[in-house]
Structure formats: structure tokens, C-alpha cells
Amino acid sequence: MNSKNDNPRGIILVVFAMSLFAIQDSLIKFIFEKSALYEIFFGRYIVAAFLLFFFIIITKKKVSLKTQYPFLTILRVVLHFLAFSAFFISLTFMPLATANALFFSSPFFVSIFAKFFLKEFIGIRRWSAIIFGFIGVYVVLNPNFSDFEYKNLLPVASAFFYASSMVITKYTSVKDDVYTQLFYFYLISITILIVIFLIMGQGQFNNLNYDPTMQFIFRDWFSNFEYTWKFILFFGCAASIA
């Protein structure tokens, strides 16, 4: 089956994945005042990594632990990490619908990167969609530069980082299968989060700043774990499936 005939199945999978991410985003908006950003990341990735491990054991998948693209693999994980950090932080001060509307600029970045880095053909209809899409992002931002807040660009930055990560994923998928990519994604992500925990996970930089965004970033981890654990468990399951 060629890639053209695989498009409908790919579209269904993307829609299903995005639906799970939308539920996740809503719940993060709901609990951010009682949790820490990177606590959520840590729990999310630990749960997803365990699910991946058990899936591989049960299905007896053969996983190559050697990546053919070590630098791009690290870069992909860092970009993905930055993308979700920027988006989740934006949810602390921006309506969920607005943040998602701005994040919808990611397909436009993907198309542009695919043209210049993957050498894929982009037709006139897609270029037209890109142009109109950026107009839509501009309208949503409504940039009155006299009092424009640059933090409102965080979902757009998230879209940029996410698109970059996805293009790298497409490129590295030529030689690294999905399980190899996921293995290194969780390994590198969890390593980064352990370092973050050692640096600020006990609230070392939470200097009683009551701004909700700063609290979300610097709050000590697991301070409300009896409340947040069920959400974190769902995030991990949703992330693994999505």
C-alpha cells in the first residue's frame, strides 16, 4: 500500500490522537493551581514509559536500542519538551480555546519545514491554506502593539517547536522505527526531568510569588499528589496511546 492510499488511516489516527491531547489540555487547565508543571511531565512520561515497556514485552516486539540519528534524536526530544512547556504554561493565563487556536499554526510550520527540509511537494492549495492560516493567527492575537503582551506568543512558539520536532520524527523514521524513537524520547525526557527535580523540584525557586504562572512552574513537586495522581495517571495513558 503506498503512502497516498494510507492517508485516510493517517488522518483518523491524527484526529484520535489530537482528541486525547485536547482532553489532557482541558484537565491541565483544571488542575494547574494545585500541581507543578514538571511534576505533570514526570508522571506523564513515567506512566507512558511503563505502558510502552509492558506493550513491548506482551507483543514480543524487537526493539533496536541503537539510533542512527543520535544528535537529531536529542534535538527532537528537547524541541518536543519546549513545545509542551510553552503550551502548558500558556494555559495558566490564556483561555484554552485561544491557546489551541494559536497552536493551530503548527500545520503551517510543518508544511513550510516539509518543503525546505524534507523536499516534499507543497501545492498551491496548501500554500494558500498556510497564508490564510497565518492571517487567522494574526486575527486571534489581535496585536495592538501599544499594550501587546509577548507572552501571548507562547502557543505560537509551542507550535513552532512542535512542528520542528515532528519534521525531525518524519526524517529519522527512515532508519529508526517507532519503538526506538519512543524509547529514546522517554529516556531523554525522564533524564531531563530528574535534573530539573534536583534543581527546583522541592520549591527551591518558589519565592512565595503568588502569580499562578510562576507557581505552576516553580511549585514543589508532589505537594498535592493525593489530588493530582489520578490526573497524572490519565495524562500518561493518554500520551502513550496518542
Task: State the residue for C-alpha cell 524509547.
Answer: 183
- Is 240 within the bounds of a domain? no
**Chain segment 128-158, per-residue pLDDT in tens:** 777 777 777 767 666 555 556 778 889 889 9
- Is 228 within the bounds of a domain? no
- Is 45 within the bounds of a domain? no
Q: How far is CA 182 from CA 37, 45, 161, 235, in A?
A: 21, 11, 18, 16
- What pLDDT, on the 0 to 100 scale, is given for residue 191? 94
- Per-residue confidence band for 170, with pLDDT thresholds at 50, 70 and 90: confident
- Is 104 within the bounds of a domain? yes
SS3 label, residue 214: helix
Domain total of the chain: 1
Lowest-pLDDT choice from 3-12, 57-66, 136-145, 233-242: 136-145
What percent of the chain stands above pLDDT 90?
A: 20
- Is 220 within the bounds of a domain? no
Q: Which domain holds residue 152?
A: 68-175
Q: How far is CA 24 from CA 84, 121, 234, in A?
A: 12, 33, 8
What is the rounded distance in angstroms from the CA atom of residue 198 to the CA atom of residue 237? 26
- What pLDDT, on the 0 to 100 scale, is given for residue 148? 62
- Is 106 within the bounds of a domain? yes
- Is 93 within the bounds of a domain? yes
Whether pLDDT at 169 is above 80: yes
- What pLDDT, on the 0 to 100 scale, is given for residue 208? 63
**Chain segment 32-87, per-residue pLDDT in tens:** 888 889 999 998 889 888 888 888 889 888 878 888 999 999 999 999 999 999 99
- Per-residue confidence band for 25, with pLDDT thresholds at 50, 70 and 90: confident
- Is 154 within the bounds of a domain? yes
Q: Which residue has the higher pLDDT, 183 or 97?
A: 183
Whether pLDDT at 223 is above 70: yes
Mean pLDDT score of the chain, rounded to an integer?
A: 84
Q: What string of DSSP letters covers 10-65?
A: HHHHHHHHHHHHHHHHHHHHHHGGGS-HHHHHHHHHHHHHHHHHHHHHHHT-----
Main-chain phi, psi angles of 201, to 5 degrees: -70, -15
Whether pLDDT at 1 is above 50: no
Whether pLDDT at 127 is above 70: yes
Lowest-pLDDT choice from 23-27, 131-135, 211-215: 131-135
